[in-house]
Amino acid sequence: MSENHHARPFRGFRSLIPGLAWSRLVQHGVRTPHRAQERLLNQGDAGGWVLLCVQGRLKVVYAEPDGRELLLAVRGPGDLIGEFSGSDGHPRSATVAAIEPGSTSKLPARQFADLVRRLGLEQHLNSYILGKVRESAAHAWQLAHLTTAARLADLIATLVEAAGPDHPSPATIAMSQEELASALGLVRSAVTPVLARWKASGLVRIARGRLEVLDIAALVSSSGQNRP
């Protein structure tokens, strides 16, 4: 898979607004680095803050009281995190954790809303939020109807896409087989045969706690998935 990250477009909220507007939003926040596996927001906590993802991929996870977790979404550079709780004042509906090292810019929700108004970004923000709602509907359908291979391929493709244009190794995913399975609400034994088949076909390279995608188009095609 090509590592020419300069050819990849910006994504998320950043892709909907002028570059200068994104830069101003980031500059008004507090830039904070994070480590891999670090939790940035916790399910059930009070809102009041919005995070702008500047670098590194993140996972949005819903957890049941018994400890079971399910991946709801993958976010990356250009995305907003926590804008729902920031606008309605309700507790966080999910946990956000870092997949890899990176950084965010943290803004109080009121300051973020004020900047959005001053920069004339209200319609862009509405479009971004609606896009997330549509994404969640598609995710629910996949959980109910797609095969394990198709769901895993879609997750991996989403992780690669979320890396953003400046990531040095978008095809390298810092998640173990256990984490990939858990993200889909499955046990490791459900995804191991799929990954072994892809490895034998030269589509992926597997290491401890890491997956490297060698041919994303062939991987998606082999799973029966059709992505735009």
The CATH number of the domain where 207 resides is what? 1.10.10.10
Mean pLDDT of 8-27: 94
CB 151 within 8 A of CB 220: no
Residue with tokens 């991996």: 156
Torsional sign, CA 89, 91, 94, 96: positive
The answer to whether position 227 is within a domain reads no
- Residue 92 shares a structural domain with residue 176: no
In-domain check, residue 191 = yes
Q: Which residue has the tokens 């984490």?
A: 179
Cα maximum dimension of the chain: 54
pLDDT at 2 > cutoff 80: no
Q: Report CA torsion sign: 218, 100, 146, 181.
A: positive
Does residue 161 belong to any structural domain of this protein?
A: yes
pLDDT of residue 141: 73
Segment 180-186 mean pLDDT: 90
* 185 falls within a domain: yes
pLDDT for the residue 6? 46
| Rounded distance between C-alpha atoms, residue 157 and residue 85, angstroms | 28
Same domain membership, residue 158 and residue 181: yes
In this structure, the answer to whether residues 168 and 106 fall within a common structural domain is: no
162 and 106 housed in the same domain: no
In this model, does residue 5 exceed pLDDT 70? Answer: no
Boundary of a domain, candidates 141, 173, 202? 141
The average pLDDT across 64-85 equals: 86
Domain that holds residue 217: 146-222
How would residue 86 be classed by pLDDT, with cut points 50, 70 and 90?
A: low
Q: In this structure, are 114 and 184 located in the same domain?
A: no
Q: What span, in angstroms and rounded, lies between the C-alpha atoms of 123 and 118?
A: 12
**Could you tell me which residues come within 8 angstroms of residue 137 by beta carbon, excluding any fewer than 6 positions away?**
none
Same domain, 26 and 135: yes
Question: What was the pLDDT predicted at 14?
Answer: 97
Is 2 within a domain? Answer: no
If asked whether residues 24 and 129 sit together in one domain, one would say: yes
Tell me whether residue 6 is in a domain.
no
pLDDT at residue 223, rounded to an integer: 80
Residue 227: predicted pLDDT? 55
- Residue 106 confidence class, pLDDT cut points 50, 70, 90: very high
Is residue 94 assigned to a domain? yes
Which pair of tokens denotes residue 21? 């507007």
Assign 65 a pLDDT band (cuts: 50, 70, 90). Answer: confident
The total of structural domains in the chain comes to 2
Which amino acid does the sequence have at 64?
A: E
- Over residues 13-22, the mean pLDDT reads 96
Q: Is 13 strand, coil or helix?
A: helix
Contact 43, 95 (CB under 8 A): yes
Q: Is the pLDDT of residue 228 over 60?
A: no
Residues 37-56: tens digit of each pLDDT: 999 999 988 888 999 999 99
SS3 state at 169: coil
Pair (163, 191) in one structural domain:
yes
Contact 76, 55 (CB under 8 A): no
Task: Look at residue 194 in the predicted model and tell me its pLDDT.
Answer: 96
